Amino acid sequence: MLISQILDDAETIRVVARNGGGKTRIINGARSVYSLAMEAARTGTGLEALIERKGYGETVDLDAAYKRGRLVSPINHPDPAHLHLTGTGLTHLGSAATRDSMHKKLSEGGEEELTDSMKMFRMGLEGGKPAKGQVGVQPEWFYKGNGTMAVAPGAPLMSPAFAQDGGEEPEIAGIYVIGDDGAPFRVGFTLSNEFSDHVTERVNYLFLAHSKLRNASFGPEILIGDLPADIRGASRIWRDGKLLWEKPFLSGEANMSHTIANLEHHHFKYSAFRQPGDVHVHMFGTATLSFADGIRTEAGDTFEIEAPDFGLPLRNPLEIEKPVKVAVKAL
């Protein structure tokens, strides 16, 4: 089942769902995906079962709504400060050539020759997929911002005027709500664009935190249920209506050095991330970047991320913010 959120003509959020290639229909009595998820958590009801119990109303043309700019992020929070955008990197094996190259360096080079990134990658290879019930090695982790940094499908990703680059990162994200007792619940999985500044990151790895404080987009639809083990999609950049760059991206545990359960554990082990009622959008990493192929994006370019399991593609144009001078005043 795929669920998403649209705005009707009265600017009211409607939650819609579809199964496979079936019709998209409004879920009766659902004020938002967030309210649905919290109801499921409080009642101990599976989300799909709760949706089926509520029943369906009229059909909608989801693709047409997307083109009209009527889609919003597939989950939000009434208070954006209680939605957390986070992620993890160095979790994917990449292409066979990249994998072979990395393994060769790991086996032939001494410890002192490895970069911190390579050491982190090796840790994941060796301990990122523990036995069931065991805890594996912790991954790289980063913070992107709260709900004010989330951009709806179709809306522009805003690159700060001071940024040195604005590039896509095609990823799968887990969507979570925190129950009243502090227990995390997974709503499902969605496409995401973990938009970042790769030039700043390349200057010095300690600038990674700066490079990640950018917008992110996710959706348009949330896949309820288990994550497919082998996800095969495509990442594209369009410029002036023409395809500038395209490359396949792989995800799912078959293409990762960590299990999803291990990544989830290491995020939610922090009590700060188990605050009742909060929403988490946690991105699981990628091995595909246009920046790695020498692409420099420009204002007006459009990013497109697509994978068949996740319904409609995620599209966002790139815009550059106007420079802002900030001065702190003493009280």
- Say if 330 falls within a structural domain: no
Residues 245-265: tens digit of each pLDDT: 999 999 999 999 999 999 999
- Say if 19 falls within a structural domain: yes
Query: Of the residues 38, 72, 106, which one is the last residue of a structural domain?
Result: 72
Q: What value does the CA radius of gyration of the chain take, rounded to a whole number of Å?
A: 20
Query: For residue 153, is the peptide bond before it cis, meaning its omega torsion is within 30 degrees of 0?
Result: no
What is d(CA 149, CA 310) in angstroms, rounded to the nearest whole number? 22
- Same domain, yes or no: 170 and 253: yes
- Same domain, yes or no: 91 and 30: no
CA nearest neighbour of 37 among 320, 280, 246: 280
Is residue 212 very low, low, confident or very high in pLDDT (cuts 50, 70, 90)?
A: very high
- CATH number reported for the structural domain that contains residue 119 in this entry: 3.90.850.10
Give the model's pLDDT for residue 297.
96
CA nearest neighbour of 138 among 252, 258, 282: 258
What is d(CA 211, CA 273) in angstroms, rounded to the nearest whole number? 22
- Say if 13 falls within a structural domain: yes
Give the model's pLDDT for residue 292.
87
Query: Of the residues 72, 92, 124, which one is the last residue of a structural domain?
Result: 72
Give the model's pLDDT for residue 105.
56
Mean pLDDT within 69-83: 97
In contact, 176 and 38? CB cutoff 8 Å? no
Could you give the number of structural domains in the chain?
2
- Say if 328 falls within a structural domain: no
- Same domain, yes or no: 20 and 140: no
> How many CB atoms neighbour CB 184 within 10 A?
19
Phi, psi of 264 (to 5 degrees): -65, -45
Using CA atoms, how far residue 242 sits from 84, 167, 237, in Å, is 34, 18, 9
Residue 41: in which H helix or E strand, if any? helix 33-43
Is residue 215 very low, low, confident or very high in pLDDT (cuts 50, 70, 90)?
A: very high
In contact, 221 and 312? CB cutoff 8 Å? yes
Average pLDDT, the chain: 92
In contact, 139 and 90? CB cutoff 8 Å? yes
Q: Kindly report which listed range (19-23, 92-96, 264-268) carries the lowest average pLDDT score.
A: 92-96
Query: Of the residues 49, 72, 95, which one is the last residue of a structural domain?
Result: 72
> How many CB atoms neighbour CB 12 within 10 A?
9
Domain that holds residue 40: 1-72
In contact, 301 and 237? CB cutoff 8 Å? yes
Give the model's pLDDT for residue 33.
98
- Same domain, yes or no: 192 and 254: yes
> How many CB atoms neighbour CB 318 within 10 A?
22
Q: Which two tokens stand for residue 44?
A: 């101990």
β-pairing verdict for 157-159 and 314-320: parallel
Give the model's pLDDT for residue 98.
46
- Same domain, yes or no: 19 and 141: no
* Residue 9 scores a pLDDT above 80: yes
Q: Kindly report which listed range (75-79, 127-131, 185-189, 239-243) carries the lowest average pLDDT score.
A: 127-131
- Same domain, yes or no: 188 and 274: yes
* Residue 95 scores a pLDDT above 60: no
Mean pLDDT within 309-318: 97
Report yes or no on whether pTM surpasses 0.75.
Answer: yes
CA angle 158, 164, 167 (to 5 degrees): 55
306: which strand partners?
234
Q: Kindly report which listed range (80-84, 111-115, 209-213) carries the lowest average pLDDT score.
A: 111-115
Mean pLDDT within 199-225: 94
Mean pLDDT within 267-277: 98
Residues 102-160: tens digit of each pLDDT: 445 555 555 566 778 888 888 888 999 999 889 999 999 999 999 999 999 999 999 99
> How many CB atoms neighbour CB 242 within 10 A?
6
- Same domain, yes or no: 63 and 96: no
- Same domain, yes or no: 184 and 62: no
- Same domain, yes or no: 91 and 65: no
Residues 49-64: tens digit of each pLDDT: 999 999 999 999 999 9
Give the model's pLDDT for residue 54.
96
- Same domain, yes or no: 48 and 119: no
- Same domain, yes or no: 307 and 269: yes
Higher pLDDT among residues 240 and 292, named by residue: 240
Query: What's the distance, CA 9 to chain centroid?
Result: 28
- Say if 331 falls within a structural domain: no
What is d(CA 236, CA 230) in angstroms, rounded to the nearest whole number? 20
* Residue 217 scores a pLDDT above 60: yes
- Same domain, yes or no: 127 and 209: yes
* Residue 65 scores a pLDDT above 90: yes
What is d(CA 144, CA 129) in angstroms, rounded to the nearest whole number? 25
Higher pLDDT among residues 327 and 9, named by residue: 327
Give the model's pLDDT for residue 82.
98
